[in-house]
A and B are shown apart, each in its own frame.
Chain A
Amino acid sequence: MTLAVEEQVASPSEDALVEFRMPSLGADMQDGTVVEWRIQPGASIQRGDVIAVVETDKGAIDVDIFTSGRLERILVPVGEKVPVGTPLALVRGDAGAAPPTPIAAPSTPPPSPPQAIQPTSAGAAEHAPSGRLRVSPLARKMAADLGIDLAAITGTGPGGAIDRADVERAAQAAQRIAAQPTLVVRPPSVAPQVTRATAAARQAAMRRAIAAAMARSNREIPHYYLETSIDLQRALAWLQEENVKRPVTERLLPAVLLLKAVALATRDVPEMNGFWTDDQLQPSDAIHLGVAISLRTGGLVTPAIHDTDLKSLDELSAALRDLVLRARSGGLRSSELSEATLTVTNLGDLGAEKVFGVIYPPQVALVGFGAIVHRPWAVDGLLGVRPLVTATLAGDHRASDGHRGSRFLAAVERLLQQPEVL
């Protein structure tokens, strides 16, 4: 996963001129399109500000910037699809602004060499052959379904061809002008018909991207799998007691306890947390747990909660709720999608008892939780019934082994027996 979105460019002035690049938002992402610039050249920016919105297979992502400073120049205009790593803008960083520690590139081939990208010229300069519009078959079908006039669209594909994204943008623009929502609950700018057509196209693209990433993961990563059943009696009893004392706005979910336990267990067994690059494990000091969220519209996203181990249960709860809301309705940030150091997949109450997942490269482990079920259990030598959850670990055998993996799951179990200190 490339996280080196900024890089020092040699400059005679004291303030560093930093390149802000198209971020990689997952091992499966090849390219993205800026659909909106949120700031203009000359504007001052703070670290964490959302400065652009990028369209990817995973939908529209808010791209937040690592450094503070001033936007010097925009290099890639709205509507242009560029490979991951392409410089999008120049930022004059505050003196002393340092780029993030580069996490080495994934084992996929690097993005197309720069000569294939001429942000200011090639795409716009070429024109379609006279008479016939160049349109991709999918785009043509989408335009027909949506009643969009192809002649009115400017293509941004190779040679000025119209692709799916061009049609989607035209459709959204048309809807903003025309549509009235059929049901008061719908976001005002999107009518149901457009949502279904664009959602279907996006779903197909996301599925392909996920398929590629998962196939690559199984191909390249030697997985080993461990499972353990964890008695959650104490944790759930504590949770119930706590929630009765708390207002609804501060209610805690079991999922939050599980996440915190995993984050703290990672401190004990750090080889679960980091990236496999250049034939070795690059452990991460920070623990940013990726949370797998299954999208009902199709596909999966795994945004990260930064510094999971440092957050209180209340902070984690608020972060998780906010993340899920934004995953469902748009508004996930690039820093969330690209910075998970270890991913947790939780099937939830209606799910299967256990899940053995596929590791998201270049991460080196995946933690799974099944549904909480009541089962017979040995309690002080007698038969009782306890709420159990099956915790699983998929580990990269290059980075760790069964023994270390077992220690990790044992740590998770131990932590869940003392919920009050989570």
Chain B
Amino acid sequence: MTHTSAAAIRNVVVLALGRIAPEADLSALDPTADIREQLDIDSVDFLNFVLAIHAELGIDIPEADYGKLRTLESCSAYLGARQVA
């Protein structure tokens, strides 16, 4: 699987968030704050988000790792690390 740059990963995360929260102004998202709180997304939205990431990057995020997706920054860090593994 090709290595995706950090910037590209970040873009995929933002795109995925845009799909589940099309009304949100993602340019105003605080990368260090809780995504769910900021966007007011529910568990179905979140699962759709995880599935969108999987579709784009081929990374299967287990439920046990959901806590690592708390913020935009932690998402990018987690996915970047998962790629290398």
Contact = CB atoms under 8 A, between A and B. Distances in A.
Interface of A: 182-187, 192, 195, 199, 240, 243-244, 247-249, 251, 253-255, 296-297, 320-321, 324-325, 328-329, 348-350
Interface in B19-61: 19-27, 36-37, 39-40, 42-45, 47-48, 50-51, 54, 60-61
Nearest to A256: B44
B21 A183 contact: no
Contacts of B36: 350
Contact of B43 (A240, A255, A296, A297): A255
Contact of A348 (B20, B42, B48): B42
Which 4 A-B pairs rank lowest in CB-CB distance, beginning with the nearest?
Answer: A185-B18, A324-B44, A348-B42, A248-B60
A400 B36 CA distance: 39
B20 A249 contact: no
A192 B40 CA distance: 19
Contacts of A350: 36-37, 42
Given A248-B54, A296-B23, A185 B17 contact: yes
Residue from A192, A297, A329 having most chain B Cβ neighbours under 10 A:
A329
A96 B84 CA distance: 61
Contact of B45 (A182, A243, A248, A324): A324
Given A247-B60, A297-B23, A350-B36, A325 B43 contact: no
Determine the main DSSP class of B at the interface with A: helix
A254 to B, nearest CB: 8
Interface of B: 11, 14-15, 17-27, 36-37, 39-40, 42-45, 47-48, 50-51, 54, 60-63
A244 B43 contact: no
A253 B51 contact: no
Nearest to A349: B43
Contacts of A325: 19-20, 48
Given A185-B19, A254-B43, A350-B42, 10 more contacts: A184-B11, A185-B14, A185-B17, A186-B18, A199-B23, A244-B62, A248-B60, A249-B51, A249-B54, A296-B39
Given A248-B54, A248-B61, A249-B54, A321 B47 contact: yes
Contacts of A248: 50-51, 54, 60-62
A360 B51 CA distance: 33
Given A184-B15, A324-B45, A324-B48, A243 B63 contact: yes
B61 A296 contact: no
A251 B14 contact: no
